[in-house]
Amino acid sequence: MNRYNEILALREELKRPGMFRHHNIQLRMVIWNLTIGSSVCFKRMMDLILSILALLIGSPVFLVTALLIKITSPGPIIFSQVRVGKFGRHFKFYKFRSMYIDAEARKAELLKLNESGDGVIFKMKHDPRITPIGRFIRKFSIDELPQLFNVILGDMSLVGPRPPLPQEVRTYTLEERKRLNITPGLTCLWQVSGRSELPFSRQIALDKEYIASKSVWKDFLILLKTIPAILTGKGAW
């Protein structure tokens, strides 16, 4: 009898206005969450597999680069720096050292020569702080290879906005802070659209465009476009 009463009560509840609409919205939310979750998992899996493969295949490049840096200028082979990741979380960011060890101390005297159009980031085409080997590895993005370890650690993804310095983030507008809403990447949309030739405002616009339409397929296309961008070295300085 109790079971019969429960069934009748359920039927009456389903007859109430808006009941089907309510369940339909709930179902859509479940499907949406599953879609987003599976996309995030697939992206992470792709990051791990491709990063490990790149480390294995590129190990000779790592060894040669490390040797050249060591024998041509004093200082560490790997340069580490604090960068800002997803939701403003700080992490240690790795690169092959491409500058002389007194680079940070000399930066203040060069600020007036900043060639970045918006002045938020510091860029010089002929930066005297860069070593001869450093100029070569920067042109072909070899200096960025140690960030594959950042990808494996989960601090970065293969594709996403480039991680900024804390002092740069302090100058951001609320609109510019939107680029911190996702995990930063090793390459991004503006890296394959002109790199350092683009002003900061254009870089932000492309990052926001990527965030608004990000997908695994788009990541794959950006990775494919990164290969010719690296080989030509266009816009790298």
In the chain, where the domains are located: 47-232
- Cα–Cα dist 206/218, whole Å: 13
Q: Please give the pLDDT value at position 154.
A: 96
**pLDDT band at 145, cuts 50/70/90?**
very high
What is d(CA 130, CA 103) in angstroms, rounded to the nearest whole number? 8
Whether the pLDDT of residue 231 is over 60: the answer is: yes
User: pTM score, two decimals?
Assistant: 0.81
**Between 26 and 139, where is the model more confident?**
139
Give the rounded distance of the alpha carbon of 76 from its chain centre: 25
Q: Average pLDDT of 196-201?
A: 84
Give percent above pLDDT 70 in the chain: 81
Residues 96, 142 contacting (CB under 8 angstroms): yes
Residue 4 has pLDDT above 90, yes or no: no
Distance CA 204, CA 87 (A): 16
